[in-house]
Structure 1
Amino acid sequence: MFQPKGEAIQVVLSSADMAVKAEDFLGPAEARWKTFRDQPASPPQRGGTVFYGRWSIDGSRWQAVQFLAPLVGLAVVMLYR
């Protein structure tokens, strides 16, 4: 995730993303940013997928099952404990 900080851009990473050395990651990321920073942003798309972190919310029933099944299982375990 990139966050503007004045003239600079801050790269925000989770700990899982940092399995490599910082210089191995930041060098290519900075080069890509410098290459594409002056290009106009693409227009926002309506009805597209919303991204929060690593999981995209698409509103499908299968995704709801994947999200709710562990919660229901945990509730059952806690109730019968």
Structure 2
Amino acid sequence: MILPRSTEGFRMTIQHPTPTTPLRARMMADMSARNLGPASQTSHLRACKRFATWLGRSPEAASPDDVKHFQQHLIESGTSIC
């Protein structure tokens, strides 16, 4: 007979799926088409989320100047612009 392991002492976390916006779905499809691995896709999505947070609106509405200013912000804060 197999008994379930005790979960005492283990934190139980529930992960909520990230809602898929049209932009996110398009990004994921494009990254899959380019055969990017799961870690690379996650990294790109996180970077896009950081940009959107900094921008204060959807990155879909960003201008080239917005991207340039965000890159300058990253440089000034000592973060890689990759």
TM range (shorter): under 0.3
Task: Name whichever structure is richer in helix by fraction.
Answer: 2
* Higher alpha-carbon Rg: 1
TM-score by length of 1: 0.28
Task: Name whichever structure is richer in strand by fraction.
Answer: 1
